[in-house]
Amino acid sequence: MNVADTPSILGCLALVTLVAGMAKGLTGFGGALVMAPLFGLLIPAPEAGVLIVLIHFATSLQGVRSWARAVRWRTVIPLALVAMVCTAVTTRWMASENAVELRRHAAELQKYSGIAPVTERSGKKCWVHWRWQCPTFLRQTFVEWAAQTINKSFWAGAYYRQQRAKGASYQAAVRALAFKWIRILYRCWQTRTLYDESVYLNALRKRGSPLLGSLALPPRNA
Q: What number of other Cβ atoms are within 10 A of residue 10's Cβ?
A: 13
Would you kindly state where each structural domain of the chain is located, as residue ranges?
1-71, 72-104, 105-207
Flag whether pLDDT at 183 surpasses 70: yes
Hey, is 217 helix, strand or coil?
coil
Residue 123: partners with Cβ closer than 8 Å, 6 or more residues away: none
pLDDT at 89: 62
User: What are the pLDDT digits (tens) for 64-81?
Assistant: 566 666 667 677 677 667
Confidence grade of residue 222 (pLDDT, cut at 50, 70, 90): very low
Beta-bridge partner residues of 122: 125
pLDDT at 147: 92
Mean pLDDT value across residues 187-195: 82
- What is the per-residue burial (b if ≥16 Cβ within 10 Å, else e) of 171-205? eebbbbbbbbbbebbbeeeeeeeeeeeeebbeebe
pTM: 0.49
Q: Are 59 and 21 in contact (CB under 8 A)?
A: yes
CA nearest neighbour of 34 among 52, 46, 47: 52
Can you state the angle between helices 7-27 and 32-42, rounded to 10 degrees? 170
C-alpha radius of gyration, the chain, whole number? 24
First to last CA, the chain: 37
